[in-house]
Amino acid sequence: MPILAVNVDHVATLRQARLGREPEPVTAAHLAEMAGARAIIVHLREDRRHIQDRDVALLRQMLKTRLHLEMAATPEMHRLALGIKPDMVCLVPEKRQELTTEGGLNCVGREEELAKFLAPLHDTGIGSSLFIDADPDQIRAAKDAGAQYIEIHTGAYADAPTPKDQQRELAKVVEGIRLGRELGLKVNLGHGLNYDNVWAFAKVPGVSEYSIGHSIISRAVLTGITEAVEKMAGIIRGFVD
């Protein structure tokens, strides 16, 4: 049965907007676990725009489920991952100017380099995943690089401009899942999945994990507004004229 892995990066985005102490992504991660998340994901970016090193260290100590660390394949992140020992790392491409991870990692022609990067992580008991487009060449290259999982980038499906484009992108993802499984890889899906478009995978077998962040945090902000405003209005109502 597939699991839900919740990405809490954007709780940290809100905190970093004031460079303050709230909202606390570790608290969000606990609540997500209590609500049914079976893994917590954070992306420690090179520019530290949202998640900070201390968040990853605290999550490692406090999570009851699993910690999945998204990161670029850089020497700095390699050293950090070996120290933190997340349950899994997911290698993603990273560009400083991008708003979010815009495309999959290119694995073709980099199989040996990636295998060398992953081997010490595997030796330490850390699982591995490569975030790639639903492209057969990338899937085969990920297998050759020795990854245990692939995460197929669902952004092209989620952001498709027309229903026809969306069907075409969905078919690519479904074929990618099939090929990945045939090659003996475990397959996760992520990026741009929301309460409307995730349904397309309800009857698609072979997915281990759905990695979802933005839509969940966005909904949480809105569903929490009423309680938050009522609480503050109640306090203000109690003030003297």
Candidates 32, 51, 90, 107; binder of ligand PXP (CB under 6 A) is: 90
Residues 170, 172, 177, 182, Cα dihedral to 10°: 150
Candidates 56, 84, 94, 101; binder of ligand PXP (CB under 6 A) is: 101
Residue 112 designated active-site:
no
Show contacts with ligand PXP in window 122-181 (CB under 6 A).
Answer: 131, 151
Residue 43 designated active-site:
yes
What is the DSSP secondary-structure string of 42-97?
A: EE--TT-SS--HHHHHHHHHH-SS-EEEEE-S-HHHHHHHHHH--SEEEE----TT
Candidates 74, 100, 124, 218; binder of ligand PXP (CB under 6 A) is: 100
Nearer to ligand PXP, 214 or 233 (CB): 214
What's the DSSP call for residue 32? Answer: H
Q: Out of 43, 50, 68, 78, pick the active-site residue.
A: 43
Candidates 12, 33, 67, 70; binder of ligand PXP (CB under 6 A) is: 70
Cα atoms found within 13 Å of the Cα of residue 143, Cβ hemisphere only: 17
Residue with tokens 């949202």: 50
Nearer to ligand PXP, 43 or 143 (CB): 43
Nearer to ligand PXP, 78 or 104 (CB): 104
Other CB atoms within 10 Å distance of the CB of residue 186: 17
> Would you say how long the chain is, in residues?
241
> CA 197 → CA 163, 166, 170, 202, 203, distances in Å?
11, 10, 10, 10, 13
* Piece of the chain touching ligand PXP by CB under 6 A; list 17-25, 75-83, 209-217, 223-231: 209-217
Which residues have a Cβ under 8 Å from the Cβ of 18 and sit 6 or more positions away? none
Residue 239: CB minimum distance to ligand PXP, A: 40
Can residue 193 be called a binding residue for ligand PXP (CB under 6 A)?
yes
- Closest residue by Cα to residue 6 from 159, 219, 155, 186: 219
As given in the structure block, the two tokens for residue 166 are 């969306």
Can residue 94 be called a binding residue for ligand PXP (CB under 6 A)?
no
Candidates 11, 150, 191, 207; binder of ligand PXP (CB under 6 A) is: 191
Candidates 170, 190, 200, 201; binder of ligand PXP (CB under 6 A) is: 190
Contact 143, 167 (CB under 8 A): no
Can residue 213 be called a binding residue for ligand PXP (CB under 6 A)?
yes
Residues involved in catalysis = 43, 70, 191
Residues of this chain that interact with ligand PXP (CB under 6 A) are 7, 9, 43, 70, 90, 92, 100-101, 131, 151, 190-193, 211-215
